[in-house]
Amino acid sequence: MIAQRSPGLVDGILANVPAISIERLVMLGFWPQLLMQEKSVFPLNCELDFARAKAIEHCDRLDHVCDGLLEAPQQCDFDPLTLVGQQVPNCMSDVSVTFSEDVAQLVADFHKEIEWGLEPDTVTRGA
């Protein structure tokens, strides 16, 4: 209301979906970490980035605009198990990293363990 009456008082407005179901919102915040602990699989950030990039690459075409965004993530049929055995680029290490089946299954579980799991393009790595 203040922004409508006095727009000079604000720099901008960040509008987002309200937390209608706060318990789901909180759960989604630590879902990847919970699964990692339960499965004792702790992938490198570069492995998670690799899986996310491949999911976007695979499903970005669904909205007919290749912009790096998934407009219809629920239609994405990406299977992380297709990445098993591939070399993961840009890991900050002298050792080459191969995408493992354990990591692929973990990434798949991020998105299907619960009915409202994370979308395939969600950033799941730590800072």
User: What are the residue boundaries of the structural domains of the chain, listed by start?
Assistant: 19-112
> Which pLDDT does position 87 carry in this prediction?
95
Q: Region 96-122: what's the mean pLDDT?
A: 80
pLDDT in tens, 59-71: 998 888 888 888 8
Which tens digit of pLDDT belongs to each residue from 17-59?
666 667 777 777 788 898 999 999 999 999 999 999 999 999 9
Sort strands 87-88 and 97-98 into parallel, antiparallel or unpaired.
Answer: antiparallel
Query: Is the CB of residue 93 less than 8 Å from the CB of residue 52?
Result: no
* pTM of structure: 0.72
Is the pLDDT confidence value at 88 over 60?
yes
Contact by Cβ (8 Å): 23, 30: no
CA 34 to chain centre: 15
